Amino acid sequence: MSRPPHAPNTRPPDRSGTHDEIYFSIICIYTEMAMTKVLIDVDDEALSEASALLGTKTKKDTVNTALRETAHRLRRAHALARLVELGEAGAFNELLDKAAYRR
């Protein structure tokens, strides 16, 4: 985790409930996200449609949300495909025998 210049590599002072603690927490959360600036050409119609479908207001939010959503959906699709493979290989056959799992 990269720390802001004003935050030393030690724990922050105990200021429970103060605005400083909340600010420090927000800074730490924000700096944990890796962001890269990229100059790319984007299809305006696709961006506009994605923004409407995702409910985002800025181009940056639209692109970041679309990237995250795509990664999550593909990760779930791969997990489902793996689950199907396991099922076809008989990994869950034990569950088909009701006597085996109702003990």
What percentage of the chain carries pLDDT values higher than 90? Answer: 50
pTM of full prediction above 0.85: no
Contact status, residue 54 vs residue 66, Cβ threshold 8 Å: yes
Question: Position of tokens 């109702």?
Answer: 102
Chain segment 43-68, per-residue pLDDT in tens: 999 999 999 999 999 999 999 999 99
Contact status, residue 63 vs residue 42, Cβ threshold 8 Å: yes
Q: How many CB atoms lie within 10 A of CB 62?
A: 22
Rounded to the nearest integer, the mean pLDDT of the chain is 78
Nearest to 64 by CA among 42, 87, 45: 42
Q: Is the dihedral of CA 88, 89, 93, 95 positive or negative?
A: negative
What percentage of the chain carries pLDDT values higher than 70? Answer: 64
